Chains A and B, each alone.
Chain A
Amino acid sequence: MNRLDALVRDTLDDRATGAPAAAPVISRVLADRSRRRRRGWLAVAATAAVTAAVVAVGVGVTRGPDAGGPAGVTTDTTDERTVARYSVALERFLRTSDWGAGGVPDEVYVTIRPDTHAGWDFNGHVAGDPIPADVRDEISERLADLTHLNWVVKDPTPKSGTTSEPAKAAVTLGLLADGDKVNVSVSAFYGFDNGWLQTYVVELQHGSWKVTGTDAPTGLT
């Protein structure tokens, strides 16, 4: 009897010979890469020019024309730890949840306010402060290959009734505690009546944050 895996292997080996030639793609990638880099430098230069102008105006207004000394120090407000912890938990959640035959939705709504129980209404739940915009942007960028995150103030998914709109996936994150080993809850509503919640143990190991396990949701313990 023939083996199915041998047939699959032979089929793939045969068909791979029909793959397109590499040279044109290499040329396009390297050319496009150079164009994007030039655009990037132009954008940086433009931003720097605008920033310099704003700083100059600010110094002029607040200190007057004779003021001296440094114009000020910019502070990076991105909380790298928050970005990393939310990103790894959210990625694990999106990849491992059962979204049906279509896999991870192309677009996922994420509420900008984390919540004590990631939005689940047991034992009372309290919304936290909104996740800062730069943190949201960085999380979106890290997950860009998986899906598009659309940050919203309010969960847009209908919880009951019927609608002709396609199903939307809405995610709420849990609040973060301090420390190098924290629980990160993530919940989702999808369609009308599909909702689930998971709490991940996220740890700092050898300089990077990793999901190392799961835990009972905060509100159930």
Chain B
Amino acid sequence: MAESDFTRYVEARTGSLLRLAYLLAGDAHTAEDLVQETLLRAHRRWDRVSRAGSPDAYVRRILINQHQSWRRRRASTELAVAPAGLPDDAAADTQESLAARDLAWRLLHELPAQQRAVLVLRYYEDLRDADIADVLGCAQGTVRSLAARAFAALRRHPDLANYAVPLPTPAPLPEETS
């Protein structure tokens, strides 16, 4: 096993994994626990992880599974949504948009774990649906279905009902003729 490879990976990627874990779990202490356990599990099978085309995909998969197991073990649906540090330009935001983000953050954590994972991987990690499917171990169609159900759930809240749901990329329009 290339221990130095593992060390380099941990040093380079822990920050990113913590942000992902934090967005999934909603609180800092759980995020730390999830990432620590994820990396130690990855270490146990680092030979296999490092042989994989993308160690990130493999490690993200472990993290997502860890998070889902944690959610199942958690008896209550109590939310631990600690206030995240607001960005420096928060003052420039309208109260309305801040309130919408607060609401969206709370609602995101009421979604089933897989639906939230799809949104986080798609809109924070900027993964393509094919990569998300690989991380979650499901078909691309399932990813799209989970995303659609997540958006439908968010829009059920009256304060978000007027938000437009994202549509699939439309086919290019034919060129205009004069």
Chain A positions within 8 Å of B, measured between CB atoms, are 1-5, 7-22, 24-26, 28-30, 32-33, 36, 91-92, 95-96, 101-104, 106, 144-146
Contact = CB atoms under 8 A, between A and B. Distances in A.
Most B-side CB within 10 Å, residue of A3, A8, A21, A144: A8
Contacts of B101: 7, 10-11, 14-15
B89 to A, nearest CB: 10
6 contacts: A9-B123, A16-B19, A17-B85, A22-B15, A29-B10, A29-B36
Interface string B156-178: 00001011111000000000000
B164 A4 contact: yes
Contacts of A32: 36, 40
B164 A25 contact: no
Given A12-B23, A145-B65, A18 B84 contact: yes
Interface in B1-57: 6-7, 10-11, 14-15, 18-19, 21-23, 28-29, 31-32, 35-36, 39-41, 43-44
A108 to B, nearest CB: 13
Contact of A15 (B11, B43, B105, B164): B105
B164 A1 contact: yes
Contacts of A92: 137
B124 A9 contact: yes
Task: Give the top 7 A-B pairs by smallest Cβ distance, nearest first.
Answer: A18-B84, A5-B166, A19-B22, A22-B15, A4-B163, A12-B124, A19-B19
A11 B104 contact: yes
A18 B124 contact: no
A119 to B, nearest CB: 24
B155 A4 contact: yes
Contacts of A8: 104, 108, 119, 123, 154
Contact of A95 (B18, B86, B137): B137
A32 B168 CA distance: 45
A144 B66 CA distance: 10
Given A15-B84, A95-B137, A106-B73, 7 more contacts: A12-B23, A12-B119, A19-B19, A20-B32, A25-B36, A33-B40, A106-B69
A21 to B, nearest CB: 8
Contacts of B82: 18
B100 interface: yes
B163 A20 contact: no
B40 A3 contact: no
A145 B6 contact: no
A33 B5 CA distance: 13
Contact of B61 (A5, A30, A33, A145): A145
B72 A145 contact: no
A57 B92 CA distance: 80
Contacts of B69: 106
